[in-house]
Amino acid sequence: MSATVEIPGGIAANRASSGLQVEGEVVQRVVVDRSCRLPVLFFFAAGLAWLLLGSLFGFIASFKMHHPEFLADWSWLTWGRVRVAHLNMVAYGWASQAGIGVGIWLMSRLCRAPLRAPGLTLVAGLFWNLGVTIGVAGILAGHSQSIEWLEFPKYATPLLFVAYALVGIWAVLMFVNRRPGHVYVSQWYLFAAFLWFPWLYGTANVIMQAFPLKGVTYGAVNWWFAHNVLGLWFTPIGLAAAYYMIPKVIGRPVHSYYLSALGFWSLALFYSWNGMHHLIGGPFPIWLITASVVASFMMLIPVLTVAINHHMTMRGHFGRLAESPTLRFTVFGAMIYTLVSLQGVSMAIPAWNKITHFTHYTVGHAHLGMYGFFSMIMFGSMYYIVPRLVGCEWRSPTLIKWHFWLSAYGIILMVLALSVGGFLQGAYLLDPATPFEYVVKSTMLFLQSRSVSGVAIASAHLIFGFHFALMLLRLGRTGGEATTFLSREVRS
């Protein structure tokens, strides 16, 4: 039987010549993937560029901590500006854009509808990168506001807010125009994240710039914002990706959808209250700090829920980790999510906080979360998504393996170094008889180890960036097991 199936977008598939059953669902999936190509690749490419630059600045900041005279003569490279630039580059330049790229593709797939208003997403992307560029330049020029996670000077923030707002609007558009059917757990997380972040960013900036806010309330707003960037922006996107990629790659549905719902709402309710645990012992009313400590403990509920869900889904299928890079990165990230969250709960215990507060231990925790959890899951999703957008396979499995192991060993070394070093630092700080000189000296070996780990991690990024560029240039493999579509005729 010969039939030509007309698909929106002008791609025609001829059943007789291909000899394959081209199902409506499959073609629809291809059409949806194709509609995402330009915006998603834009966000991935821009994100990777910031990752490379951010890794470089991270290494410079790390090196300066044990070699303070390194590049010490230029004001724009002083440690206090390089470290701030690094954070903003990797958080807003890399992580957020990777998250948006993955989120856009996931939303389109799950709404089973081609990407709507691609122009909107591209405008958002342009504003985003403009905002980050101007913001980072401002920081290096000496206009940092020294508000953690909100250091961008005032002239950069409106650009970023416009970008975030456009993404939020796009998410609503997609969601409203989705094909009828079930709303998958990843969609809840993405929808929530794409709305929470502009609300968060807008509210924080309005309060801080427009209100007569002074004193410690500034600190409260600061850490309400900063912690919620982690809990209501990055975490939901990372979990959305994991909830899709793990079942999709192994071909098995999530173990308990009911647990997914419980995990989502308990995360939303409790995570948003955690912020003040960054200020334990600080000049705040004790009820405020206590509320955040309690909320930090309550996080055990969503975290263990997600851990159980993912583990039970993976059970019996861990062998697939040898086959799929996406699964490797994603499962690594999901396990780290459990670990870093449990670590976070422990850090909120006042007896432990007494030791680790103000130390490198906290920096280790932050990197474990942002890199070990979020970035690794983003890498995994990117490895899945990019071939489906460009129409060819990743060229070199060897490069992927190098990326994985350099990143994995790199982050493990970094976190071990900073955790052990930070704990020692804290223990010495806690002993009033230990002179400050000794506290600093005790951290040297660990800070040097962190720089070594930074070399590994930056190398991993160079490898990935190169490999990604090959894909953009359509220099991937065209043969091999289909990760994309079924027949050549379906390609446009």
Partner 1 sequence: MTLPILLIVLVGFGLAASAVAALYWAARNGQLQDFERGAQSIFDEGEPVGVPTDRVFRRRTRKPKSA
Partner 2 sequence: MNSLPRLFIGIFVVFLFAWGGLVAMPYLQLGGLQPQVDEDGNQFPPQRDSLAEYGAEVYAANGCMYCHSQQIRPEYAGSDLERGWGARRTVPRDYVNDRPVFLGTMRTGPDLTNIGKRQPSALWHHQHLFAPRAMAGDWSIMPAYRFLYKVQKVKGTPHPDGFTVPGDPSVPEGYEIVPTKEAKALVAYLISLDRSYSLKEAPVD
Token pair listed for 279: 């200020």
Is 253 an interacting residue with respect to partner 2 (CB under 8 A)? no
Q: What is the dihedral of CA 417, 420, 421, 425, to 10 degrees?
A: 160
Contacts of 360 (CB under 8 A, 6+ apart): 418, 421, 422, 425, 443, 446, 447, 450
Q: In whole angstroms, give the CA distance from residue 362 to residue 348.
A: 11
Which residues lie near partner 1 (CB under 8 A)? 23, 25-26, 29, 110, 181-185, 244, 247-254, 256-258, 260-261, 269, 285, 287, 320, 322-327, 383-384, 393-394, 397, 400-401, 481, 483, 486
To the nearest whole angstrom, how small is the minimum distance from the Cβ of residue 457 to partner 2? 21
Least separation in angstroms between CB 156 and partner 2: 15
Q: Is 161 in the site for partner 2 (CB under 8 A)?
A: no
* Interface with partner 2, residue 427, by CB under 8 A: no
Residue 25 interacts with which of partner 1, partner 2, none, CB < 5 to 8 Å by class:
partner 1
Residue labelled with tokens 């980790």 = 321
Query: How many CB atoms are closer than 10 A to CB 24?
Result: 9
Q: What does 6 interact with, of partner 1, partner 2, none (CB < 5 to 8 A by kind)? A: none
Distance of closest approach, residue 147 Cβ to partner 2, in angstroms: 5
β-bridge mates for residue 4, sequence order: 14
145 interface partner picked from partner 2, partner 1, none, CB below 5 to 8 A per type: partner 2
Give the footprint of partner 2 on residues 299-358 (CB under 8 A).
Answer: 350, 353-354, 357-358
Question: At which residue do the structure tokens 């992927």 appear?
Answer: 400
* Rounded CA separation 233/197 (Å): 6
In the complex, minimum distance from the CB of residue 383 to partner 1, in angstroms, rounded to a whole number: 8
Sequence letter at residue 445: L
What lies within 8 Å, CB to CB, of 427 at 6+ separation is 355
Segment (H or E) for 401: helix 397-430
Nearer to partner 1, 313 or 443 (CB): 313
What would the x/- binding string for partner 2 be over residues 57 to 96, using CB under 8 A? -------xxx-xx--xxxx--xxxx-xx------------
Q: Which helix (H) or strand (E) holds 244?
A: helix 235-250
User: Based on CB atoms, which residue is closest to partner 2, 48 or 295?
Assistant: 295
CA distances from 50 to 1, 54, 91, 92, 136 (A): 52, 6, 9, 9, 11
Q: Which does 2 bind (CB under 5 to 8 A by kind): partner 2, partner 1, none?
A: none
Cβ–Cβ under 8 Å, residues 32 and 105: no
C-alpha 195/C-alpha 250 separation (Å) is: 30
Nearer to partner 1 (CB atom), residue 207 or residue 486: 486
Query: What's the min distance (Å) between Cβ of 139 and partner 2?
Result: 9
CB of 377 to partner 1, least distance (A): 14
> Counting contacts by CB under 8 A, is residue 121 touching partner 2?
no
Judged by beta carbon, residue 290 or residue 338, the one nearer partner 2 is 290
Find the helix or strand (DSSP H, E) in which 172 lies.
Answer: helix 157-176
Cα 229 from Cα 273, distance rounded (Å): 12
277 near partner 2, rule: CB under 8 A: no
Q: Measured from the CB atom, is 56 or 216 closer to partner 1?
A: 216
- Residue whose CB is less far from partner 2, 208 or 237: 208
